[in-house]
Amino acid sequence: MNRGRVSWALLLSSALATAVAAQSKSEIKPIDGIIPSGFGEAVDRDVARAREATIAFKRTDRALQSGYLAADNCIAHPQHGAMGYHYRRDALYDAKLDVAKPEILVYEKMADGSFKLNGVEYIVPIDAWKSDDAPTIMGQKLKRAENLGIWYLHVWIWEPSPSGIFADWNPRVKC
């Protein structure tokens, strides 16, 4: 009788684990040009988490209220598109990265003067990073910008980029 209960418990445990795994997969909703990212389920989950964490910042006033500082200028590249306006939160500039707490929110100024949240940027100051290997987030190594004193990674989580979700520039974004 004990053996039957153990087998039943194992069967139930296995079925529950399968159901939980299926549920977590189904929670990642496709978003045209963003999810699936092409980088796997773990990255797609991270992108979904970043979107969930930043949805409140679609309005710049909410970003400002949360400690992000507005940039005066839009960053663009003549051939590759733009990054946009960077709203940064200096309190997050350290050696820790958190998908749900991007150091920078990237906006595009629209024709009517409003701002549209297009993406995020993760930052680690070079002097805060003590490893020889680059910091990583979402399975990606951050890029080193010696002239800015940072490691960084752009992620286009709100506006698809034809150049890729982790590209520096988005040809769809204008300054």
What pLDDT, on the 0 to 100 scale, is given for residue 27? 77
What is the token pair recorded at 5?
């209960």
For residue 137, give the nearest of 118, 116, 151 by alpha carbon.
151
The pLDDT tens digits for 128-140 are: 999 999 999 999 9
Cβ contact 115:125 at 8 Å? no
Q: Give me the half-sphere count of Cα atoms (radius 13 Å) on the Cβ side of residue 57.
A: 32
Q: Are 119 and 154 in contact (CB under 8 A)?
A: yes
Sequential pLDDT tens for the chain (175 residues): 455 444 444 433 444 344 334 434 457 899 999 999 999 999 999 999 999 999 999 999 999 999 999 999 999 999 999 999 999 999 999 999 999 999 999 999 999 999 999 999 999 999 999 999 999 999 999 999 999 999 999 999 999 999 999 999 999 999 9
Q: How many CB atoms lie within 10 A of CB 3?
A: 7
For the entire predicted model, the pTM comes to 0.84
The three-state secondary structure class of 143 is strand
Q: Give the separation between CA 92 and CA 111, rounded to whole angstroms.
A: 31
What pLDDT is recorded for position 24? 44
